[in-house]
Amino acid sequence: MSEEPDIFDEMERRIRSIFEATMADIDEALFDVSSRSLKPLYRIEATDDELIVTFDLPYVQKDDIRIESTEETLSIEARIIKPVRLMSLAKGDVEFEKYAKKIRLPVKVDPAKAKAKFRNGLLTVRFPIHSRGTSVRID
Amino acid sequence: MSEHKAVLQIKELKEIANLKPYVIVGVPEVGLVGTIVTSYLIRQLAMQEIGYVDSESFPQIMVVHASEPKYPVRMFQHDDIISFHSEIPLAPRASSYLASEIVSYSVAKGARAVIGITGIPSKRRIESSEALQVFAISNTKDMLERAKDAGAEPLEEGMILGSYASLLKHCMAMGIPNLTLLAESFPEFPDPEAALSVIKVLSRMINIDIDTKPLLAESEELRLRLRELMHRTQQSMQEAVKLAPSAYA
């Protein structure tokens, strides 16, 4: 028995984490009572040379948004202008004060090259994707 | 009346006769444009609740408003306007049954037209909230001309999916005028501004006087409150999209 990590274990782990990330997004509640935060709606779009993440952040001012990124994740937090109460049993009598969301990005990015823009309550974060291609010869 | 009567029923709480109505349909789809428009019309015109729709194909949901339990798909009336309004996203089969019965009902009521309202995903929407275009699809030249005169642009090439495609299809099959108004909108965020641009076209077309200022003022709050409905609608629309070649018309 080898002590080295098995390549198949590693593959399975990665597949599982991708699967879990996808499933989490579908079933996840859009709020978190303990941190009084709402999870914003967002979309991820990849073009040939850019990864674009857009968040819907109504009731937010530009100066109240904090964005953090690593090579693999993007986190945002934004204060809501005035706390909101959303009626529903599951949410109880809670005033939500902010949006908070951490996204696992589908490709590796260079966080230092990210650009963000906030307009009409929409936050757009763009990462350049450089595909340093190697030419492939046809035999 | 139609083949789907067994699985889906429209129940009138008040008998509607001799109206020759416009039947306006709003169900949650692209940008929730349809539901935002119908709920706004219901409120601004103080439309009266005149019935509901029930079906075994609908999810098991009832809603409560002001302590009163309600069916999630209901119908409202004011003057010669009848509006079907759904508060829940519908799976493809359910929305197809609904479209079929709405069209049968409209034929039986001698409706002048069935008007579907929705959004059309637009890439440039993110850059601009000014002058959002409204596109129109109709099976009659007359309705298309009227939509054009009211500021809509006839859609020349493209496709529509889901409930509104079903409505159009059943209207064509039954030989009744259909008009589908599609505002440029965000596909996956609630879009009250897109709804506003449709209301402007619609009010000119069917001569109703609607104050649009409150909708603009409430726009951000609506976006916040409609997040969960949008999220669930996205999930159910993905099922419909799987069956189609591309979501972008």
Q: Is residue A1 part of a domain?
A: no
Residues from chain A that touch B228, judged by Cβ atoms under 8 A, are 30
Q: Is residue A65 part of a domain?
A: yes
Residue A1 pLDDT level (bands cut at 50, 70, 90): very low
Q: Is residue A45 part of a domain?
A: yes
Q: Is residue A102 part of a domain?
A: yes
| Cross-chain Cβ contact B189/A26 below 8 Å | no
* Mean pLDDT, rounded, of chain B: 91
A43, A54, A59 ranked by CB distance to B224: nearest: A59
| CA pair distance B78, B21, nearest whole angstrom | 10
Residues B37-81: tens digit of each pLDDT:
999 999 999 999 999 999 999 988 899 888 899 999 999 999 999
pLDDT value, residue A39: 93
Contact status of A44 with chain B (Cβ, < 8 Å): no
How much of chain A, in percent, has pLDDT values that exceed 70? 74
| Cross-chain Cβ contact B221/A54 below 8 Å | no
Mutate to test the interface with B, among A122, A123, A124, A125 (most CBs of B within 10 A): A122
Residue A15 in this model has a pLDDT that exceeds 80: no
| CA pair distance A32, A91, nearest whole angstrom | 8
> Nearest-CA residue of chain A relative to B127?
A119
Contact status of B220 with chain A (Cβ, < 8 Å): yes
Q: Say if strands A122-128 and A50-56 run parallel, antiparallel, or are unpaired.
A: antiparallel
Contact status of A38 with chain B (Cβ, < 8 Å): yes
Q: Is residue A58 part of a domain?
A: yes
Residue A82 pLDDT level (bands cut at 50, 70, 90): confident
Extended strands (E) in B46-165: 48-55, 63-65, 68-70, 73-78, 81-86, 113-121, 134-138, 153-154
pLDDT value, residue A18: 54
| Cross-chain Cβ contact A56/B186 below 8 Å | yes
Selected residue with higher pLDDT from B22 and B232: B22
| Cross-chain Cβ contact A43/B224 below 8 Å | no
Mean pLDDT of all residues in B89-109: 94
Q: What is the DSSP letter of A41?
A: P
The token duo for B128 is 């601009």
CA atoms within 13 A on the CB side of B168: 19
The token duo for B118 is 């929705």
> Nearest-CA residue of chain B relative to A120?
B129
Residue A72's CB is within 10 A of a number of other CB atoms, namely: 13
Phi, psi of A115 (to 5 degrees): -125, 140
Residues from chain A that touch B231, judged by Cβ atoms under 8 A, are 30, 41
Residue A20 in this model has a pLDDT that exceeds 70: no
Q: Is residue A118 part of a domain?
A: yes
Weakest-pLDDT range from A1-15, A30-44, A119-133: A1-15
Weakest-pLDDT range from A9-18, A45-54, B93-102, B221-230: A9-18
Q: How far is CA A85 from each of CA A93, B108, B217, rounded to the nearest angstrom? A: 7, 44, 19
> Nearest-CA residue of chain A relative to B219?
A58
The token duo for A102 is 């951490």
* Rg (chain A; Cα; Å): 19
B243 Cβ contact list (under 8 Å, min separation 6):
B92
pLDDT value, residue A28: 64
The CA angle B59-B63-B68, to the nearest 5 degrees, is: 145
Mutate to test the interface with B, among A120, A125, A126 (most CBs of B within 10 A): A120
pLDDT value, residue A132: 66
Counting one residue from chain A and one from chain B, the pairs whose CB atoms sit within 8 A come to 37
46-75 in chain B: CB under 8 A from chain A: none
Q: Is residue A61 part of a domain?
A: yes
The CA angle A52-A54-A59, to the nearest 5 degrees, is: 160
Closest CA to B105 of B150, B136, B147, B73: B73
| Cross-chain Cβ contact A58/B188 below 8 Å | no
Q: How far is CA B116 from each of CA A56, A132, B12, B157, B243, rounded to the nearest angstrom? A: 26, 48, 21, 18, 21
79-138 in chain A: CB under 8 A from chain B: 80, 84, 86, 120-122, 124
Residue A11 pLDDT level (bands cut at 50, 70, 90): low
B190, B223, B228 ranked by CB distance to A30: nearest: B228
Residue A23 pLDDT level (bands cut at 50, 70, 90): very low
| Cross-chain Cβ contact A59/B189 below 8 Å | no
**Domain holding A13: CATH number?**
2.60.40.790
pTM: 0.86
Residues B226-248: tens digit of each pLDDT:
998 999 898 887 776 666 555 44
Mean pLDDT of all residues in A65-79: 95
Residue A76 in this model has a pLDDT that exceeds 50: yes
pLDDT value, residue A84: 84
Tell me if B63 sits within 8 A of B85, measured CB to CB.
no
CATH of B8-241, one of 1.25.40.80, 3.30.460.80, 3.40.50.10900, 3.40.50.300: 3.40.50.10900
Per the structure, the count of domains in chain A is 1
Selected residue with higher pLDDT from A31 and A1: A31
| CA pair distance B44, B159, nearest whole angstrom | 31
Mean pLDDT of all residues in A83-101: 79
Mean pLDDT of all residues in A26-49: 84
Mean pLDDT of all residues in B171-193: 95
| Cross-chain Cβ contact B227/A54 below 8 Å | no
Tell me if A68 sits within 8 A of A114, measured CB to CB.
no
Residues A105-126: tens digit of each pLDDT:
988 899 999 999 999 899 999 9
| Cross-chain Cβ contact A56/B189 below 8 Å | yes
Residue B1 in this model has a pLDDT that exceeds 60: no
The token duo for B13 is 């709480």
How much of chain A, in percent, has pLDDT values that exceed 90? 48
Residue B124 pLDDT level (bands cut at 50, 70, 90): confident
Contact status of A43 with chain B (Cβ, < 8 Å): yes
| Cross-chain Cβ contact B221/A59 below 8 Å | yes
Q: Is residue A35 part of a domain?
A: yes
The CA angle B216-B179-B242, to the nearest 5 degrees, is: 85
pLDDT value, residue B17: 82
Q: Would you state the torsion angle of the CA atoms of residues A119, A122, A125, A131, taken in this order, to the nearest 10 degrees?
A: -110
